[in-house]
Each structure stands twice: as structure tokens, then as C-alpha cells.
């Protein structure tokens, strides 16, 4: 792996501040769902890469899809890229979701906010995926999700699906499953494993939900990063047991993660 | 043919480029990007007598042409380091500079003693970490303390000792001279400059530690000035660092007086940064018909 220059195939704004970027890059070759890239902004005064999850990877075409929210100066520069533009990137990095271990299982993919994109790529590699996603108000990527599996949605303002968060939606469904539902989730079957990505309060609630039902749960974490490759120890998360690298209780999100078994991290 | 080899307190480095402690782990991560034998030396992350947990997160924040870090010297302790990290580096044809940290004199000495018979070529003693209360900067800013800790380490060290100085002082010449008086074989500088960043939207400190060490190109001119001042104040060689991203930056530090130069934060921008600095120094020498890189050391 090397830092390389990707070419923008297309970029679309798909919701307020949310961009859908396709890049031609050899990093697409070995990308696994749940891995991420360090994306550089093209401005040398911004030294550090921005960690962005891989939404989908097409190894044959050599294309990666990133879906991201414009937050600060770096993602703003990224949003200004047009077809044919160049972007420096490093990746794929990190471990990714354990899709191989749960290929034929009922996997519930729970996403909130800008945590939804990596679930798309993960779901394509599973035979029985179902989604539970939470938005503030405006939804995005919904069509992509519906193409892959059944989708349970929640919005804070109630404009789509259950009013509230994803857990509210799951609890409502548990209380009142739909016998003629589209898939195993809506019919009231319990998931066999959960993959989740989203803001920390959501991840905590998801981990608690999984623990109560004794379902294995894998969460993708966010932390501020400098190197993205495990060298600087900037991006650690608290673990319950001694970590294998520094022999304290701090695993590197960029290297041992970003996906962790929720029982192994102190969320 | 250009000679890039330099002698650094009795150890020959094949070229004058190493990595800055804490930006390169123990080489394993960047060893996946390039052959570490291309470097004159690898300098490892600070290692203490026992594992250190480090600071809470967020530990890093980007700043214009630089970054702040408050890692707090997370490290696995010397025993794991000797078992896992040093043998890894020993496979490469490069010198190894082991960076040592501690809260107190005894802790530094314990690590140094354990390194006595190990394949470490040089020791770099970090007395200048701004992110650890006792032991870090406390040692590094008081000339008397610098001299005392240098003497204590030198009494036990088998390898040449480089004292890593803090730039968070009024006069770098004083601490440089104190290290020399304590018997240091070399000095290295600069460590990071203490800084702070505030998230104005949330009215909160960006780093959990509130303050952090500033590094990267933003500090390069300060590094050049301090390397110049320190190298003229002492007779021992200087390992220069601070904001080196290109070969020109490294050459600047060498011309200011550094015999060896370390690449730090730039590794995060490009994993090949240190290797490219080596190549660039060679090209610079060829272009300017410099037959021996040692000719540029302190040439201004
Ligand atoms: C593993 C991982 C995967 C991610 N995947 C996505 C994704 O798929 N889509 C998406 O929209 N966002 C994602 N993020 C968050 C994304 O990295 C930040 O929104 C982005 O770095 C902001 O950069 P900026 O220059 O716009 O903001 P600024 O605030 O100007 O950035 C300044 C610095 O802070 C860092 N930073 C700021 N916010 C975050 C954050 N939330 N997490 C980590 N670093 C941050 C930046 O990288 C940069 O170094 C991910 C984060 C991580 C750690
Ligand atoms: C993330 C990070 C971790 C660091 N850790 C250490 C350390 O463990 N010991 C040490 O002596 N210096 C440490 N430093 C300081 C660097 O070695 C170097 O002195 C400083 O960053 C200036 O060089 P640069 O601008 O090229 O990065 C660290 C710097 C950074 C950015
Ligand atoms: S970002 Fe450097 S170790 Fe994770």
C-alpha cells in the first residue's frame, strides 16, 4: 500500500451537506467493508488525512464510493471536487466488519447519522441483512439500503418511520411485529448478530440492546486520528482487557479497529 | 558518488536521516510502506520502565501547517519493547535509537540498564515531553535538573546518550550546555512547543489534556534557530528536528548545525516522507556537487 492519487469519477450532493463521491483508485482492489481511507485535502497546510469510511468498493472497476458529511474545511475542500479531479488518499485501513463470519446469519445493520455509509458495503456481502437506520430529519442512501434488504427507519422529527431513534424503532417493532412483513426483522425474528456505526450515544444504546438479548454486536468507532496506520497512538479507545499493542487498556481505532466487539470496548 | 554517511558520537549512520520519536512507533507500521534500511536510523517511541496508559482522548488536533498532540507517552514498557520491538528493528540494516522516558531519575536509569546488552545503537533521553507532568518538561527546562539527569543516565548507559531538549525555555543554550556538562554525547532538539486549541462552537478545549505539543512545518523556523544556537553553544553533535517535510528542510537544519536530522509529523502526511528526505538530500548533493554531506553541517 502507498499513498496515491485517486481520480474523481463523480460527485453528487445527495442531501443537505451530504456528498456521494466515487473515486477511481487501486485502493479499491483489496478494500473490505468497514475499512476506511485517510483522505487528504489537497492543501499542504492541512497535513492530516481525514478518515472516511468506504461505503462501497468495486474491485473490478477499481472504484470506491465514499459518502460523507461536510463538516469543516477539509470536507468542504473535498466537496468542491468535480469529475476528473484528483484526491490523495491512503488506504484501505483498519479491520472492517467480520462479514465472512456471519455471511448466512440474520445480521442487523444499525446506522445513525453519517454512520450509515459503511453498512451499505457490508450488507452486500451478507445473505440475510436487515437495516435499522436513524436520521435527524432528511434521509439519504435509503434507496441503496432498500435495494439490499428490509429497512426499519426512525427520524427525530417523525417525518419518516418511527419518531425517535433506532432503538425506539426496534422496540416498537418488538412490541408489535408484522406477520406479513417484508423480511425476518419486520416479522419479529431476533437478529443473530448486529453491526453498528453511528454517534457514540447510539452505539452505547445498541450495545446495551444487544447485551440484553445476548446478541453479538460489532461497533465501528470514531476517534481523531493523525497517522491512520497505528504509529502515533493518537486514536485509542478504552478496552476492557489489556490491549495487544501497548499492553495497557487502549486499542488503536485505526489499526485494531475501527470495528470492535462491543463487549471488548468501554463505550 | 556522494557520501551520505555521517559519524554521530561514534556510530556511523549510512545517511543523516532518522525518524522523530513517537511519530514512527517502533517502525513496524511504516515498515509495511518501505524498507527501513533506507534510513540512517530509526528512533523509537518513548519507552518507560513499565507500561504507560497515556492521556484520555482526543489526543490530537490539526493546526495550520502542524498539529497538537497530547499522547501522554503511552507505551508498553521496556520488557515488551525488548521482546517484540527491538528484535523487529534488528532485522534491518539501520541504526536504532531508543527513546527513553520516565517520571523520575530511577525510572530512566532502570530502562537504560535494561538496554545495556541489547541491539540499541544510541539512547535518546526524553526530558522534554510537554504532556506528562512530572518527568517530562519538569526535567527539561531547568539546567540543573538537565545536568543531574544526564549524569545519572550516563553513569549507567552502555550506548552513547543523546539528551532531548525542550524548546519551551527562554534560552536553549543553557540547557544544551547543561546536558554537555552532565556528560551527554549529543543533544537532540526540538521537542514540541506547548500549545492549545479551543473548539469555539462548543467553548471547549479540543484536547482532553487541554494543552498539547505543537509539531510540523509550523515549528520549522524555530527549530532552525534553536539548532543553530545550541550547536554553537556546545561541542557535542546535534540531532535536529522540528517540521522537516522535505530534503530542503532537512538540509536547512544541517546547515544550521545538525549532524543528523529527524522526520516526524511529516510521516503522517506521507508514509514515505523520511525515505524521500534521504533521496532528496542525495539529489541536492549531486546537483550542488557536494561530495560529502558532512561538508554542509553547520556551514552557514
Ligand atoms: C474511522 C472513521 C470513519 C469515518 N467515516 C466517515 C464517513 O464515512 N463519512 C463522514 O462524513 N465522516 C466520517 N468520519 C468523520 C470524518 O473523519 C470527519 O467528519 C472529518 O475528518 C472532518 O474533517 P473536516 O476537515 O471537514 O473538519 P475539521 O473539523 O476542520 O477537521 C479538523 C481535524 O479534526 C479531525 N476531525 C474532525 N471531526 C472528526 C471526527 N468526527 N472524527 C475523526 N476526526 C475528526 C479531522 O480529520 C481533522 O484532522 C469518520 C471518522 C472516522 C474516525
Ligand atoms: C504524535 C507525536 C508523538 C510524539 N512522541 C514523542 C515521544 O514519545 N518522545 C519524544 O521524545 N518525542 C515525541 N514527540 C516529539 C517528536 O519526536 C519531535 O520532537 C517533534 O514532533 C518535532 O518534530 P516534527 O515537527 O518533525 O514532528 C512526539 C511528536 C508527535 C507529533
Ligand atoms: S491515528 Fe495514529 S495510531 Fe491511530
Q: Are strands B204-205 and B198-199 parallel, antiparallel or unpaired?
A: antiparallel
Cβ(A227)–Cβ(B57) under 8 Å? no
How far apart, in whole angstroms, are the C-alpha atoms of residue A116 and residue A130?
13
Å between A58 CA and nearest CA of chain B:
24
Cβ–Cβ contact A73 with B under 8 A: no
Which one of A43, A74, A201 would you pick to mutate in the ligand 1 pocket, going by the greatest count of ligand atoms within 8 A of its CB?
Answer: A74
CB contact under 8 A, A232 and B32: no
CB contact under 8 A, B51 and A248: yes
Closest residue on chain B to A47 (Cα): B269
Query: Residue B178 phi/psi, 5° resolution?
Result: -65, -40
What local confidence, expressed as pLDDT, does residue A101 receive?
Answer: 96
How far apart, in whole angstroms, are the C-alpha atoms of residue B43 and residue A198?
37
What local confidence, expressed as pLDDT, does residue B27 receive?
Answer: 98
Per-residue pLDDT of chain B (300 residues; tens, 9 = 90+): 899 999 999 999 999 999 999 999 999 999 999 999 999 999 999 999 999 999 999 999 999 999 999 999 999 999 999 999 999 999 999 999 999 999 989 999 999 999 999 999 999 999 986 666 555 556 788 999 999 999 999 999 999 999 999 999 999 999 999 999 999 999 999 999 999 999 999 999 999 999 999 999 999 999 999 999 999 999 999 999 999 999 999 999 999 999 999 999 999 999 999 999 999 999 999 999 999 999 999 999
Among B11, B37, B212, CA closest to B131: B212
Closest residue on chain B to A90 (Cα): B270
Cβ(B19)–Cβ(B43) under 8 Å? yes
How far apart, in whole angstroms, are the C-alpha atoms of residue B240 and residue B218?
15
Per-residue pLDDT of chain A (267 residues; tens, 9 = 90+): 999 999 999 999 999 999 999 999 999 999 999 999 999 999 999 999 999 999 999 999 999 999 999 999 999 999 999 999 999 999 999 999 999 999 999 999 999 989 999 999 999 999 999 999 999 999 999 999 999 999 999 999 999 999 999 999 999 999 988 888 789 999 999 999 999 999 999 999 999 999 999 999 999 999 999 999 999 999 999 999 999 999 999 999 999 999 999 999 999
> For residue B214, is it left (φ>0), alpha (ψ between -120 and 50) or beta?
beta
Cβ–Cβ contact A175 with B under 8 A: no
Give me the total of CB pairs closer than 8 Å, taking one residue from chain A and one from chain B. 111
- Residue from B45, B62, B199 whose CB has the most chain A CBs within 10 Å, to mutate: B62
Check: pTM over 0.80? Answer yes or no: yes
Q: Are strands A150-155 and B260-263 parallel, antiparallel or unpaired?
A: unpaired
Complex ipTM over 0.90: yes
CB contact under 8 A, B59 and A233: yes
How far apart, in whole angstroms, are the C-alpha atoms of residue B219 and residue B214?
7
Q: Which CATH number fits domain A4-93: 3.40.50.620, 2.40.30.10, 3.90.380.10, 3.40.50.150?
A: 2.40.30.10
Cβ–Cβ contact B12 with A under 8 A: no
Which protein residue has the closest C-alpha to ligand 1 atom 9?
A68
Find the CB nearest B29 among A229, A246, A250: A229
| B9 is annotated as an active-site residue | no
Closest residue on chain B to A226 (Cα): B268
Q: Return the C-alpha cell found at A221.
A: 468507532
How far apart, in whole angstroms, are the C-alpha atoms of residue B168 and residue B83?
35
Helix, strand, coil percent values for chain A (each to nearest 5): 20, 35, 45
Q: Return the C-alpha cell found at B173.
A: 543554550
Quick one: which atom of ligand 3 is closest to the CA of A236? 4
Q: Return the C-alpha cell found at B15.
A: 545517511
How far apart, in whole angstroms, are the C-alpha atoms of residue A41 and residue A43?
5
Cis check for the bond before B109: say yes or no (omega within 30 of 0).
no
- Residues A199-223 as b/e (b if ≥16 CB within 10 A, e otherwise) read eeebbebbbebbeeeebbbbbbbbb
| Cell 537504560 found at | B112
CB contact under 8 A, A237 and B57: yes
| Ligand 1 contact, A48 CB (< 6 A) | yes
What local confidence, expressed as pLDDT, does residue B133 receive?
Answer: 57
Find the CB nearest A47 among B30, B53, B268: B268
Find the CB nearest A248 among B23, B66, B74: B74
| Ligand 1 contact, A49 CB (< 6 A) | no
Domain boundaries, chain A: 4-93, 99-220
- Residue from B22, B24, B25 whose CB has the most chain A CBs within 10 Å, to mutate: B25
Burial of A116 (0-12, 13-18, 19+ CB in 10 A): buried
Q: Got the DSSP string for B119-143?
A: S--EEEEE---TTSIIIIIHHHS-H
What local confidence, expressed as pLDDT, does residue B208 receive?
Answer: 97
Residue A68 Cα to ligand 1 middle (Å): 9
- Residue from B35, B45, B47, B57 whose CB has the most chain A CBs within 10 Å, to mutate: B57
CATH code of A99-220, in short, is: 3.40.50.80
Amino acid at each position: 500500500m502507498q499513498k496515491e492519487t485517486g481520480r474523481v469519477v463523480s460527485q453528487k450532493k445527495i442531501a443537505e451537506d451530504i456528498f456521494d463521491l466515487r473515486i477511481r483508485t487501486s485502493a479499491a482492489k483489496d478494500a473490505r467493508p468497514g475499512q476506511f481511507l485517510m483522505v487528504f485535502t489537497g492543501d499542504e497546510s492541512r497535513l492530516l488525512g481525514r478518515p472516511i469510511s468506504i461505503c462501497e468498493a468495486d474491485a473490478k472497476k477499481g472504484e470506491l464510493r465514499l459518502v460523507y458529511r461536510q463538516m469543516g474545511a477539509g470536507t468542504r475542500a473535498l466537496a468542491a471536487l468535480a469529475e476528473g479531479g484528483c484526491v490523495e488518499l491512503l488506504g484501505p485501513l483498519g479491520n472492517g466488519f467480520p462479514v465472512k463470519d456471519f455471511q448466512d446469519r440474520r445480521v442487523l445493520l444499525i446506522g445513525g447519522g453519517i454512520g450509515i455509509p459503511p453498512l451499505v458495503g457490508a450488507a452486500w456481502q451478507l445473505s440475510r441483512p436487515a437495516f435499522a437506520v436513524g436520521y435527524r430529519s432528511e434521509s439519504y442512501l435509503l434507496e441503496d439500503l432498500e435495494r439490499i434488504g428490509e429497512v426499519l427507519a426512525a427520524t427525530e422529527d417523525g417525518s419518516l418511520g418511527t419518531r425517535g431513534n433506532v432503538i425506539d424503532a426496534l422496540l416498537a417493532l418488538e412490541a408489535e411485529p408484522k406477520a406479513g412483513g417484508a423480511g425476518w426483522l419486520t416479522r419479529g425474528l431476533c437478529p443473530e448478530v448486529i453491526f453498528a456505526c453511528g454517534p457514540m450515544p447510539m452505539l452505547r444504546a445498541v450495545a446495551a440492546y444487544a447485551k440484553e438479548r445476548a446478541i453479538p454486536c460489532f461497533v465501528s468507532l470514531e476517534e481523531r486520528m493523525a497517522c491512520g496506520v497505528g504509529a502515533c497512538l493518537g486514536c485509542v479507545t478504552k478496552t476492557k482487557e489489556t490491549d495487544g499493542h501497548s499492553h495497557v487498556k487502549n486499542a488503536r481505532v485505526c489499526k485494531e479497529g475501527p470495528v470492535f466487539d462491543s463487549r471488548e470496548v468501554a463505550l | 558518488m556522494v557520501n551520505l554517511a555521517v559519524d554521530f558520537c561514534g556510530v556511523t549512520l549510512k545517511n543523516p536521516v532518522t525518524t522523530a520519536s513517537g511519530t514512527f512507533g517502533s517502525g513496524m507500521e511504516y515498515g509495511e510502506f518501505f524498507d527501513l534500511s533506507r534510513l540512517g536510523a530509526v528512533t523509537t517511541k518513548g519507552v518507560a520502565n513499565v507500561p504507560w496508559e497515556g492521556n484520555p482522548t482526543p489526543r490530537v488536533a490539526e493546526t495550520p501547517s502542524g498539529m497538537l498532540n497530547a499522547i501522554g507517552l503511552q507505551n508498553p514498557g521496556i520488557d515488551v519493547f525488548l521482546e517484540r520491538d527491538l528484535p523487529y528493528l534488528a532485522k534491518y540494516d539501520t541504526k536504532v535509537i531508543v527513546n527513553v522516558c520516565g517520571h523520575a531519575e530511577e525510572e530512566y536509569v532502570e530502562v537504560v540498564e535494561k538496554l545495556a546488552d541489547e541491539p540499541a545503537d544510541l539512547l535518546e533521553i526524553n526530558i522534554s515531553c510537554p504532556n506528562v507532568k512530572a518527568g517530562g518538561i519538569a526535567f527539561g527546562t531547568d539546567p540543573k535538573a538537565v545536568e543531574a539527569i544526564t549524569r545519572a543516565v550516563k553513569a549507567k548507559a552502555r550506548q552513547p546518550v543523546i539528551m532531548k531538549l525542550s524548546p519551551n525555555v527562554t534560552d536553549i543554550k543553557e540547557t544544551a550546555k547543561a546536558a554537555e556538562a552532565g556528560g551527554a554525547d549529543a543533544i537532540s532538539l526540538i521537542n514540541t512547543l506547548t500549545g492549545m486549541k479551543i473548539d469555539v462552537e462548543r467553548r471547549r478545549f479540543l484536547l482532553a489534556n487541554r494543552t498539547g505539543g505543537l509539531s510540523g512545518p509550523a515549528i520549522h523556523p524555530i527549530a532552525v534557530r534553536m539548532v543553530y544556537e545550541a550547536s554553537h553553544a556546545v561541542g557535542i553533535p546535534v540531532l535536529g528536528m522540528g517540521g522537516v517535510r522535505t530534503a530542503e528542510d532537512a538540509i536547512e537544519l544541517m546547515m544550521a548545525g545538525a549532524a543528523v536530522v529527524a522526520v516526524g509529523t511529516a510521516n503522517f502526511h506521507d508514509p514515505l516522507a523520511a525515505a524521500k528526505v534521504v533521496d532528496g538530500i542525495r539529489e541536492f548533493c549531486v546537483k550542488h556537487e557536494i561530495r560529502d554531506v558532512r561538508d554542509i553541517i553547520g556551514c552557514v
